[in-house]
Structure 1
C-alpha cells in the first residue's frame, strides 16, 4: 500500500518536473503576457518566429528546447501560432481583463502636443522602435529578474489610460514608487543599446539582455551609463526621477520580447492573473 502511495505521488509530481522552472515562471499566455512553447529535444536550437519576428529560444533542464514568446496586448484570446523551422506550432492565448487608470496632466502639451512636438515624438518613437527590434545572439544571463529598484509596485502593466479624460495607449510597463535619486539596477546582465531624453519618457535607458529580451527604464533623473556599456546583473544604470510625462518620481520599466511589450511582473514572480 505504501509503495502504491509513493508511486502515485511520484506520478503526480512528474508534470511539474517535466515542465521545468522557467516554464512555470514565465508561461502566462494572455494578451501582454508570455507563452512558453515546448520544442522538444534537438541537437541545436530550432529557429522560431512569431508574427514574422525572431523569438527567444533556450535549453531547459538540458533536455529540451523551449520558445519564450512575447504576446502583444493587441492579440485576441484564442489559438495563435509560431513558426518552428518554417512549420506551424499552435498555442492558446487566454483572456485577461485590464483595469482603467485616469490621470490629470497639468501640461496640456503632454496630452495634445502641437505640430512641432508631434514631429519630435514621431522621431523619438522611430528611434525607440528600432531599439526594441534588435535581436542579438547572446543568451540571457537569467530569466528570473531582480527588481530594478526597492519599492512597492504602483501602476501595473496594461492599464487603459485616460489623460485629462482622453484615452491613450495602454500602460506598456510596470511602475515602481520610489524617491527621486534612488539607484536603478539592471535586473539581468545586458548591453546599453540606447540612451535618450524623450518628450514622453524623459531620460531613458534601453538594455539588451539577449535574443530580443530588452528592458527600457524611463523618467530617470540621471543616467549613469554610456552607449555600449556592458552591465552586470545589479549594475547601476541611473537614478529614479520624474522627467518626461510624469506626475511624480517613479520608475517606469518596460520589458519587450520579440518586439512585444509584455508584463514585467512575470519576470519577477509578481504576475496577477
Structure 2
C-alpha cells in the first residue's frame, strides 16, 4: 500500500528501492476562480549514477542529480542520506569464498528474459553480487542483486532474498573462523576452496587423518562409516589408520591417501608372576572395557580445542608408540601409546581443552582419565597415583588433572599416554605442539 506524504506541492505516492514517485497537487485553499487543478504527471524515476555496498547490510546509491540514498538492511529499505566517508570504498571481497569474487565482472545479465548491459558491478562473495544497469524507463530499479553467483537476478530485496544474504553473511563468518585454524592463509584457502581435503594425505600405520568435505555426508574407511560433522564452513571427521592397515594408496572422496610402510621396534619386559597373572582375569578386564567403550561412544560433534596440543609431562620416554611388546618372553601386544617415566607425584597436564569422559580406577590401567576433545578424538592418561578431576568436568589445556603413579599393570612410576580416534589408538606424537589443522602440508 502506498503511503501518501505531502511535500510542498507534491504528494509522494510511494518509495520503491530509493525511487521517488510524485503526483502534483494544487495546495488546499487555492481552487477558487481562475485556479486549475494540475494534471496528474507520469512517475519520475531518478537516474542512478553509481552504487556501493560496503558490507552485507550497508550501502548507498548516488543519483545523477547529486542526491544519495542509503540502506542499512541490505536494500530492503532506502532513505535519503549521505554515505559516511568511511563507507565510500566498496567492501573487500571475502577471502575464503571459493571462486575469486573480483574475477566476476559481467558485461551483461539476463533479467526477466531480456539481456541488459552492465554499467557497474560488485561481487562481495562468489555467490552474492550486485549490478547497476543503464537508466531505462522500463526498469523500476536499475540495481539488481544475485545470491547464486549470477544465475538469477532480482530488482527487489524480498524477505527470501534478505534471508539468503544473511545466510551468505553467516557462511563468510564461518569461513573466517575456520581459516584461523590453519597454519597459513595459503593452506586455509586450499582447504576451504577444495571439495575434499586430507590432513595429511600421506601417513604411516598408527597415524590418523582429519578429513574435510565441503558438503555433509559420510566417509567409508576400512569397512566402517564415519559421519561428517559440521564445523566452520566444512564437514569433518577423523579416520584412524590402524596398525593393521597395509601400505598402499586409498581413495577418499576425490583425494588419494598414501599409507607408507613403517618399521616398529620390539620391547621385552620381565614382570612378576603375580603381575603376569593380572591379564588372566578376563572378567574384570571386560567389565572395565564396557566402561571405557561407553565413555568413548559419545563425543561432542565439534572441535573442543583451538590451540596446539601439549605433552602432559616432560618425562623420560621408556616405550615409544608402536613397539611390539613381549612380556616374560611371550608375545603380549603392540604398544599403541607412549610411556613417559617420571617421579611419583609429578603433575599431569591436560593435553588440550575438552570434557572428562571418564575418570575412574580401572583394573589394568589403574587410575585413568579419558578426555573428549570432540569429533571422536579422546586422550588417555593411565597409572595415575591421584585423580584431580571427575567424569563430566570441563578442562582447559594445561590444567592439572592428576599425578604420576604406578597403579594397575605397571612396573614403575610413569604416564601411559595416547589418543583414540573413533575407538582406535593413534600415535600421540602427531599432536604435540600442533593441531590436526596444521597437518595440511600444501598451500594454494
TM-score range, shorter chain: 0.7 to 0.9
1:55-85 deviation per Cα after TM superposition (whole angstroms, max 9, x unaligned): 67676xx776665422111222223355x6x
What's 2:240 paired with?
A: 70
What's 1:268 paired with?
A: 432
Which of residues 111, 121, 129 in structure 1 aligns to 2:276?
A: 111
Q: Which runs of 5+ in 2 are unaligned?
A: 1-183, 192-196, 435-444
> How many aligned residue pairs are there?
245
What's 1:186 paired with?
A: 350
Provide the C-alpha distance between the structure 2 equivalents of 1:109 and 1:55, rounded to a whole number of angstroms: 44
Contact 1:27 1:36 in 2 (8 A): no
Deviation at 1:199, TM superposition (A): 2.0
Which of residues 185, 200, 205 in structure 2 aligns to 1:31?
A: 205
Which of residues 241, 244, 260 in structure 2 aligns to 1:94?
A: 260
Q: Which runs of 5+ in 1 are unaligned?
A: 1-12
Deviation at 1:47, TM superposition (A): 3.6
Provide the C-alpha distance between the structure 2 equivalents of 1:256 and 1:242, rounded to a whole number of angstroms: 22
1:118-267 mapped onto 2 (5 Å cutoff): 118-142=282-306, 144-267=308-431
Provide the C-alpha distance between the structure 2 equivalents of 1:170 and 1:143, rounded to a whole number of angstroms: 30
Provide the C-alpha distance between the structure 2 equivalents of 1:235 and 1:71, rounded to a whole number of angstroms: 29
When the two chains are superposed, the root-mean-square deviation of aligned CA atoms in Å is: 3.1
Change (3 A) 1:91 1:55: farther
Deviation at 1:150, TM superposition (A): 2.3
TM-score (norm 2): 0.49
Change (3 A) 1:185 1:99: same
Contact 2:378 2:419 in 1 (8 A): yes
1:67-104 deviation per Cα after TM superposition (whole angstroms, max 9, x unaligned): 5422111222223355x6xxx86422211111101111
What's 1:3 paired with?
A: none
What's 2:226 paired with?
A: 54
1:136-192 deviation per Cα after TM superposition (whole angstroms, max 9, x unaligned): 213131463111112233311111001111111211211212111111111111111
TM-score (norm 1): 0.77
What's 2:67 paired with?
A: none
Farther-moved stretch of structure 1 (189-198 vs 147-156): 147-156
Change (3 A) 1:24 1:174: farther
Runs of 4+ deviating beyond 3 Å: 13-20, 23-28, 36-39, 44-51, 55-59, 62-68, 79-82, 112-115
Deviation at 1:230, TM superposition (A): 0.7
**Higher Rg of the two aligned structures:** 2
